Amino acid sequence: AQKITQTQPGMFVQEKEAVTLDCTYDTSDQSYGLFWYKQPSSGEMIFLIYQGSYDEQNATEGRYSLNFQKARKSANLVISASQLGDSAMYFCAMRPATGNQFYFGTGTSLTVIP
Amino acid sequence: SQTIHQWPATLVQPVGSPLSLECTVEGTSNPNLYWYRQAAGRGLQLLFYSVGIGQISSEVPQNLSASRPQDRQFILSSKKLLLSDSGFYLCAWETSGGSEQFFGPGTRLTVL
């Protein structure tokens, strides 16, 4: 069975500081993709970053980086130099290489404090 | 560039009434299309997905149905809404064989 766990329901970070949002996953598939999405209060889901299970390098996209530890089955999102606009819900998701389903975690609410 | 639209943005319906939510994608052909529901403060639950016209896969048994009458149109329907159908409905698309999914702006449904 596929499962995504985000253990931090809410996080606070000071503006300009870095923050790590935790995500662990459980799968028996050998090939899969890991994703992070941002959901601001408007509701739209915004794709942030992707990591393939066979990628040796951690993915980076601007201020976002994914700390991928395959043996521990973790895919934490690191946001550097937090901005007020980063305040939102953040969802971790996994997609096995076979099949069409994304599996989402329950999300972490991030609040950036000025 | 590709865009995805959802209509309506918000909807308040009485229990037992019908439902039709529409999702359309522009700027791409033969996308895979998805319907998700997000209950308040929760993650996303996949409801339906479609890999082509007339091809619908259901992930969760419920009183909802989906149809794909055109390549870039995906419709979520119900004949009789339940209170538990309240939530935020998101449509998403991806290229066939692609990785990330791109989401629409969502429809907030309240069933009273």
Q: Tell me: the pLDDT tens digits for B7-59?
A: 999 999 999 999 999 999 999 989 999 999 998 777 898 999 999 999 999 88
CB contact under 8 Å between A42 and B44, yes or no, is: no
Nearest to B43 among A42, A100, A107 (CB): A107
Q: Is A22 exposed, middle or buried (0-12, 13-18, 19+ CB in 10 A)?
A: middle
Using DSSP's 3-state secondary structure scheme, residue A96 falls into strand
pLDDT (0 to 100) of residue B59: 82
Q: In whole angstroms, what is the distance from residue B88 CA to residue B15 CA?
A: 17
Q: Is A98 exposed, middle or buried (0-12, 13-18, 19+ CB in 10 A)?
A: exposed
Using DSSP's 3-state secondary structure scheme, residue A9 falls into coil
Q: Which helix (H) or strand (E) holds A79?
A: strand A74-79
Beta strand B107-111 with B10-13 is parallel
List the single best residue of A50, A53, A104 to mutate versus B (max B Cβ within 10 A).
A104
pLDDT (0 to 100) of residue A61: 94
Q: Does A43 touch chain B (CB under 8 A)?
A: yes
Q: In whole angstroms, what is the distance from residue A26 CA to residue A8 CA?
A: 17
Nearest to A104 among B44, B59, B104 (CB): B44
pLDDT (0 to 100) of residue A78: 98
Phi, psi of A8, rounded to the nearest 5 degrees: -105, 100
Beta strand A74-79 with A64-69 is antiparallel
pLDDT (0 to 100) of residue B1: 82
**With bands split at pLDDT 50, 70 and 90, how would you rate the model's confidence at B61?**
low
- Which 3-state string (H, E, C) describes A14-70? ECCCCEEECCEEECCCCCEEEEEEEECCCCCCEEEEEEECCCCCCCEECCEEEEEEH
Mean pLDDT by 10 residues, chain A (114 residues): 90 97 94 95 92 92 96 96 97 87 92 96
Task: For residue range B77-96, list pLDDT tens digits in order.
Answer: 999 999 999 999 999 999 87
